[in-house]
Structure 1
Amino acid sequence: MLAPQAPYVPVRQDYVRRVMSAAAQDGHDRSSATLRSHNRQALTKARIFLMPMIDVYAARGVIEDRKGLAQELAQAVMRWEKVPVIPFFTDNTAAFVHELDADSFSTAGGGSDHVRVTVTTNADALNREQQLGLVKEISELVAKASGDPSLAERTWVALTEAVPGGWGIGGHAYTNDEIVAHVRALLGKD
């Protein structure tokens, strides 16, 4: 069960600085009132909501409880991204466990005892601390689900980012701004 989370991702100061710098380069007034206005806009844009997709690739039989692992991974990614625990996210954040024949993949050295996990989020969704924490937790969850603690050392996690407009739900390709607007409406924040 997911614990209730704050409704927004904390503001990334590097993002605010980029927005403020861009505003200044565009010739916008740097008066305190204008900067406050741009700061509010930056803060609003920085509250990005995400719906990650997770794909796990492992040799057949390595993961005993595939559905349990999928759910734990989806919940972990939601926690690290700090999205609100509402149906829009819990129903659209998913993990898929793909079982492969052991002879269908190999390292350059001939091994096929690794697991690959791909997590797709919006661009710049995770700061460095979130990346490190998420990769560590994913590796631990995969090892736990396999019953082999050493598998954490052989779990590769690739963090990838979707392009703007790259989240398709119900036949619509959502941009970050559309997701933000939709979730704000769901939370009554408009």
Structure 2
Amino acid sequence: MPMIEVTAVTGSIPEAKTPALLDELATILLRWEGAPDTEFFREITWVYLNEIDPARLAVGGRGGGEPRFRVDITVPEGALSQRRKAGLIADVHTAVVTAAGLDPNSAQALHVWTLIRDVPEGNWGAAGQAIAFADLKNAAAAARESSNGGGPG
């Protein structure tokens, strides 16, 4: 049940590149979580792009200048090790920089910030009930097993 919210100044990501970026971000997150890329897991992986008017961004309390990107990633606590978080941050950065047409070695590439928020067990709910991370892990294992034909017999 991961969620990604990208907040950027309107027009920072060309409209034609937006659908591919949103799909790529979901793919990246599923991969780093170790979840199978199935319809079930895609259905519970939400990606939002929140565009804001340039006048609504201030840097140091002043007009924002060059575009900035904030990528908030919310996952159940325990879903990502530190190694996985580092890989996720690197891949998300590359995806956003590429979609925005920025030089990855430029100062503008420093304007892509990624925040990972771990939601403690019992603090994430869906369909009116708390969701246990163990249930998601079991669903992922079952999906992997069924895609492998049930494993060795």
Q: CA offset at residue 127 of structure 1? A: 1.4
Please say if residues 36 and 140 of structure 2, whose CA atoms lie closer than 8 Å, have aligned partners that are also in contact. Answer: no
Amino acid at match of 1:155: V
Please say if residues 74 and 93 of structure 1, whose CA atoms lie closer than 8 Å, have aligned partners that are also in contact. Answer: yes
Identity %: 30
Look up the match of 1:116. Answer: 70
Amino acid at match of 1:100: I
Which runs of no fewer than 5 residues in structure 2 stay unpaired? Answer: none
Please say if residues 120 and 159 of structure 1, whose CA atoms lie closer than 8 Å, have aligned partners that are also in contact. Answer: yes
Look up the match of 2:124. Answer: 167
Larger strand proportion of the pair: 2
Look up the match of 1:40. Answer: none
**CA distance in 1 between partners of 2:140 and 2:92 (Å):** 26
**CA distance in 1 between partners of 2:24 and 2:142 (Å):** 28
Q: CA offset at residue 109 of structure 1? A: 6.1
Q: Which has the larger radius of gyration?
A: 1
Look up the match of 1:134. Answer: 88
- Residue 34 (structure 2) pairs with residue 82 (structure 1): yes
**CA distance in 1 between partners of 2:58 and 2:71 (Å):** 15
Look up the match of 1:11. Answer: none
**Secondary structure of residue in 2 paired with 1:96:** strand
Look up the match of 1:99. Answer: 51
Q: Deviations over 1:139-179 (max 9, x none)?
A: 11111111122443210100001222333334433121333
TM-score (normalizing by structure 2): 0.79
Relative distance call for 1:123 and 1:153 in structure 2 (3 A) is same
- Number of aligned residue pairs: 139
**CA distance in 2 between partners of 1:183 and 1:133 (Å):** 20
Amino acid at match of 2:78: D
**CA distance in 2 between partners of 1:90 and 1:78 (Å):** 8
Look up the match of 1:63. Answer: 13
CA RMSD of the aligned region, Å?
2.1
**Secondary structure of residue in 2 paired with 1:119:** strand
TM-score (normalizing by structure 1): 0.65
Q: Deviations over 1:31-57 (max 9, x none)?
A: xxxxxxxxxxxxxxxxxxxx2100000
